[in-house]
Amino acid sequence: MSDEHPLRRQTDFNNSRRLRKGIYILPSLATVFNIAFGYYALYQTFLGPTEGAEHFDRAARAIGFAVLFDGIDGRIARMTNTTTEFGRELDSLADAITFGVAPAVLAWVWGFRSFGTLYGHTFADRVTQFGAITTFAFLVAGVSRLARFNIQVNPKPWNPGRPGKKYFVGMAIPAGAGVLAATVHFFGGASIAKGNEPFAIIWGIIVFCAALLMVSTWRFYSFKDLDLSSRRSFRTVIVIAAVIGLVWLDSQDTLAFIAYGYMLSGIVMGMRFLFRGRRNQPQLTEASETQ
């Protein structure tokens, strides 16, 4: 017969219940930070045209931090075994705001707003209209990417890769947003000035390419198979530390190199598969993007 006091058992039960609730809140809290960064990025983007380039740069940095938090919330949920339907839906909606709306608005205001109007017929106006179309396409592609991921079960990439590695089918929306944000940050937030229409057109093409890659079925490495707890993880830790150091010393060049390098890696894998022809290779499952 237990001599433990009933009141103590009730207190322990209440404490355990509060602890479980706190653990379940952690992933959602990280997702809320993700939304906050997206809201802040929009706020800074709207200040950019009147108050200076540093506001565009702050918007780009906010999106970059959101990419980091987007990876954290999912890992927290998996580590604590607190994956829920609510968390998945919240994460998906957060991604639509932070990696869809915020970078699309930033890309248009930073790259096209100064040229003309959406209703004119001059060449500068046409550039502005082209920018509106490409940035809107990015938003639609990003949201479509999220919707496709939410409804598909075990989607197969068009160009399967090595067994044992996990891939995204199409470029994930945080990576697409990262390309846009890294470009703005690379130029220190200095927007594309009126009279530099050729560069604005190139910028529109980059935005549109990112949109196409998000809705493609090409594979992109997800890094989900990295196990930092294994014996071979020491080299991985060294690489991560080196990347962090490079970002600290020169974030503009390093982040641009990482963002464009990742985007090009998917293109290279797709082109290699295209030229070599389809072969009988094992099919791979898509890695999880959400909680």
pLDDT in tens, 163-175: 656 788 899 999 9
pLDDT tens digits for range 252-264: 999 999 999 999 9
Q: How far apart are CA 142 and CA 146, in angstroms?
A: 6
pLDDT tens digits for range 95-146: 999 999 999 999 999 999 988 888 888 999 999 999 999 999 999 999 999 9
Structure tokens at 181: 């944000």
- Checking if the pLDDT of 181 tops 70, the result is yes
Q: How far apart are CA 75 and CA 239, in angstroms?
A: 20
**pLDDT band of 149, cuts 50, 70, 90:** confident
Residue 211 and residue 136 in contact, taking contact as beta carbons nearer than 8 Å: no
Residue 130 and residue 201 in contact, taking contact as beta carbons nearer than 8 Å: yes
Q: Which of 177, 4, 14, 156 is nearest to 96 (CA)?
A: 177
Residue 140 and residue 215 in contact, taking contact as beta carbons nearer than 8 Å: no
Bridge partner residues of 168 (DSSP): 220
What is the average pLDDT score of the chain?
82
Q: What is the pTM of this model?
A: 0.83
Residue 213 and residue 171 in contact, taking contact as beta carbons nearer than 8 Å: yes
- Checking if the pLDDT of 74 tops 80, the result is no
pLDDT tens digits for range 14-60: 444 443 444 467 777 888 899 999 999 999 999 999 998 999 999 99
Which one-letter DSSP state was computed for residue 4?
A: -
Domain ranges across the chain: 7-222+232-276
Q: Which of 266, 251, 72, 63 is nearest to 157 (CA)?
A: 266
